[in-house]
Amino acid sequence: MDLQIHLPLNGLDETLIPTAFLEQLQSSPSRKVTFFDETITGYLHLTDEVMGFGNHVADASIYIDLAVIPDSAQTHNPEFHIKSIELTKTDLLFSSEVNLKGKTSFATVWKFALPILYPKKKVASPQVFASIVLTLRNAPGASAGVRAGAHDVSDINSSNILSDLQFLILDKRRASKLVSFSRPQVLTALPDDVTLEQQTATESTLTASVKLPVYPALIMRLKSTKSVGRDNVLFSTLELESSKELMKIGVALDILNVETTFTDGRLEEFLPGGFTYPVSFLPSDILNFTYKLHHDSSGSVKPICIKITSIARSFDPFSSSVHATFGSEIVTSWATNVDFGITPPAAKKPPRLATSRKNRLRSSSDLQKPLRLSSSSLNVAIPRSGNPLLAGLVITFSGQTDVRIGEVFRWKVQAINKSPNRLNLSLYIQARDMFEKSQPRLPGLDFAAYPAPALQKMYNAIKLVPQGILPLANDIKIGPLDPGAVYETTVELIAIERGIFNLEGVRIIDIASGEGFDCGKLLEVVVM
């Protein structure tokens, strides 16, 4: 007798005659990897050359012990067990004589499904390990009435409500069957009025196992935020990312469906126009789904359920091309909570850029006049977390932003003192990297010919960073400024290079204390 486990890569045609089905089963490629939250379809193939062997197949008991173990584990540890499965008559596909390659034998095939679940304990380099124990009972001396009664009981109690505890006794049962192989029953003392006819019974036990590496398919994150003043509204974003192992094994995914359930309120999903499933999801992709959640009940923490259905595809990481799908659907379910009581993010006050352009119909006489160029303004408010002496000072830069090369233009600088301190300030302009370039030391080489990349690198090292615009005055006095006072002055600049530039290195310095504040990049100027 021979017992084999087959885990085909794709589905098989089970309507074929037994001989054709076995040829298909043996020629189909087998699974090399599997994924958590996937259900694997497999077949158990029992072969015997003895004709009439099928009379005892109905008495077979088959148990599958499923575990997720570390790659280095050599023995089955009960703490890695995830499920026990018992195959019944309904799982029997066929039991028939077959002729393979001119050789006649008796073949029996069962079909089974293995749900790949996450273990209760984290496992390094996890492997799915499925071990199968098949026991054939052959009791020729047993009476027909006893055998019929046993079958009646098994038909009535066809569902095993203690299947989850099967692994606790599976090893003991397996050991007892191996020990009692071809061993006659031992009778204990019986009452005088009871007679029992001794029967000889034998049990044949076969085992088979298979081990495959298992990987998580998806990494899911749920990020939530809320608007100020909207306590019953929450914006949540579901972020999907492939696990890093998929790139290594050359597997991509097709997202077939994403189903989100929010039972304690209303859910609005924001999807781009024309969005349809399935979605091709490569290992380097990140997919986001945004939801607007409403709730009107009490309590701030609410449950949300996410169910993602996907299927694996072969993927070539060098050409980024995907091929045919394989395996069965991967159904990942995640139940988590969202908190409506989170604090809204603090409002940021970035520099405000206000652009004003004058658009009006021009008369024929106006065509001879030069076009009026655009102007912009930028507010820089010194935060309280910065220099405490200058906190509350608002500096506004406004002026022309489209100039011609070589042209001198002016910016107006307005300072508003909203602090309780009297300020006497100076506006100082010094780009950080200006005047810092120097000729690098020549390399000590004996030849004057350099490779092109080295020559280009040397040129870039001595090339001055373009400034574009330069101030014509520096150390410009602002003030004195009393609390609540406004002070205005102008800054003259010149454009020396074509391009788009920012004026950098502008600092506001308090003359009395010497403390200052860097205004960062100011208005963007287009030099034509």
Nearest partner of 226 among 292, 305, 298, judged by Cα: 292
Q: Give the tens place of pLDDT for each residue, 492-527.
A: 888 887 777 777 778 788 777 777 777 777 777 778
Single-letter amino acid, residue 251: V
Nearest partner of 108 among 47, 164, 63, 160, judged by Cα: 47
Look at residue 275 and tell me whether its pLDDT is greater than 80. yes
Nearest partner of 505 among 527, 491, 522, judged by Cα: 522
Fold of 2-184+198-214: Immunoglobulin-like (2.60.40)
Is the model more confident about 347 or about 84? 84
Q: Does domain 216-339 have CATH number 2.60.40.1230?
A: yes
- The whole-number average pLDDT for the span 122-147 is 69
Q: What is the mean pLDDT of the chain?
A: 75
- The whole-number average pLDDT for the span 190-195 is 39
So what's the pLDDT on residue 257? 93
- The whole-number average pLDDT for the span 261-289 is 87
- The whole-number average pLDDT for the span 95-122 is 88
Give CA–CA dist 449/422, Å, rounded: 64
Write phi, then psi, for 302 (nearest 5 degrees). Answer: -125, 145
Q: Residue 152: which pLDDT band, with cuts at 50, 70 and 90?
A: very low
The secondary structure element, H or E, covering residue 295 is: none
CB contact set of 527 (below 8 Å; sequence gap of 6+): 403, 404, 405, 468, 469, 495, 497, 498, 499, 500, 501
Single-letter amino acid, residue 483: P
Per-state percent for the chain, helix, strand, coil, to nearest 5: 15, 45, 40
Q: Residue 125: which pLDDT band, with cuts at 50, 70 and 90?
A: confident
519 three-class SS: coil
Q: Give the tens place of pLDDT for each residue, 26-69.
A: 999 999 999 999 999 999 998 887 655 556 676 788 999 999 98
Residue 440: C-alpha distances to residues 85, 443, 456 (Å): 75, 9, 14
Look at residue 218 and tell me whether its pLDDT is greater than 70. yes
Look at residue 346 and tell me whether its pLDDT is greater than 80. no
Q: What is the share, in percent, of the chain residues with pLDDT greater than 70?
A: 70
Is the model more confident about 490 or about 157? 490
Give CA–CA dist 112/54, Å, rounded: 20
- The whole-number average pLDDT for the span 303-318 is 90
198-202, 251-255, 271-275, 293-297: segment of lowest average pLDDT: 198-202
Look at residue 390 and tell me whether its pLDDT is greater than 90. no
Beta bridge mates, 321: 316
Whether 177 contacts 140, CB under 8 Å: no
What tokens appear for 60 in the block? 């077979």
217-221, 340-344, 387-391, 461-465: segment of lowest average pLDDT: 461-465
What tokens appear for 313 in the block? 């595809």
Common-topology check for domains 2-184+198-214 and 353-527: yes
Look at residue 308 and tell me whether its pLDDT is greater than 90. yes
Nearest partner of 524 among 498, 503, 494, 493, judged by Cα: 503
Q: Residue 431: which pLDDT band, with cuts at 50, 70 and 90?
A: low
Look at residue 463 and tell me whether its pLDDT is greater than 70. no
Look at residue 8 and tell me whether its pLDDT is greater than 70. yes
Q: Residue 318: which pLDDT band, with cuts at 50, 70 and 90?
A: confident
So what's the pLDDT on residue 421? 78
Cα 330 to its chain centre, rounded Å, is 14
Is the model more confident about 320 or about 168? 320
Is the model more confident about 279 or about 393? 279
- The alpha-helical segments, DSSP class H, found in 93-243 are 144-156, 166-179
Q: What is the share, in percent, of the chain residues with pLDDT greater than 90?
A: 22
- The whole-number average pLDDT for the span 356-378 is 48
Look at residue 268 and tell me whether its pLDDT is greater than 70. yes
Single-letter amino acid, residue 499: G
The secondary structure element, H or E, covering residue 187 is: none
What is the reported pTM? 0.54
Transcribe 337-395 into DSSP letters: EEETTPPPPPPP-PPPEEEE----PPPGGGGGSPPPPPEEEEEEEPPTTS-TTTTTEEE
State the first-to-last Cα distance of the chain, in angstroms, to the nearest integer. 89
Q: Which of 152-156, 382-386, 440-444 has the highest mean pLDDT?
A: 382-386
Q: Give the tens place of pLDDT for each residue, 438-455.
A: 455 555 555 556 667 677
Transcribe 123-136 into DSSP letters: -SSEEEEEEEEEEE
- Please report, for the chain, the start and end positions of each structural domain, with discontinuous segments joined by +: 2-184+198-214, 216-339, 353-527
- The whole-number average pLDDT for the span 73-77 is 65
So what's the pLDDT on residue 466? 58
Q: Residue 158: which pLDDT band, with cuts at 50, 70 and 90?
A: very low
So what's the pLDDT on residue 132? 93
Is the model more confident about 515 or about 338? 338
Give CA–CA dist 410/373, Å, rounded: 13
Whether 294 contacts 235, CB under 8 Å: no
Fold of 353-527: Immunoglobulin-like (2.60.40)
Give CA–CA dist 461/437, Å, rounded: 9
